[in-house]
């Protein structure tokens, strides 16, 4: 399933959530951090529920 359009959309959601969290952390905005963490948690949970591995996305994002 990892090559499907649905899986790619889930991975993009994880990427965007990670980027939002990074931006919120850099800004030191506690509210934005909480919102971004919730979005990232939700995106990862949905991906896992549908059998989409997000480890590669997380590793790639952390290496940037």
| 31-57 confidence digits (pLDDT tens) | 999 999 999 999 999 999 999 999 866
Q: What is the pLDDT of residue 40?
A: 96
Phi and psi angles of residue 63, each rounded to the nearest 5 degrees, phi first? -80, -10
Q: Spell out the residues 6+ positions from residue 35 whose beta carbon is closer than 8 angstroms to its own.
A: 20, 24
Q: Indicate whether 3 pLDDT > 80.
A: no
Give the integer Cα–Cα distance in Å for 56 and 19.
Answer: 15
% pLDDT > 90, the chain:
77
pTM: predicted TM-score of the whole model, two decimal places: 0.79
């Amino acid at each position: 399933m990892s090559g499907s359009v649905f899986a790619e959309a889930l991975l993009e959601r994880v990427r965007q959530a990670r980027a939002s969290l990074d931006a919120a952390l850099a800004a030191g905005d506690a509210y934005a951090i909480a919102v971004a963490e919730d979005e990232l948690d939700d995106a990862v949970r949905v991906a896992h529920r549908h059998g989409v591995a997000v480890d590669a996305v997380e590793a790639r994002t952390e290496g940037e």
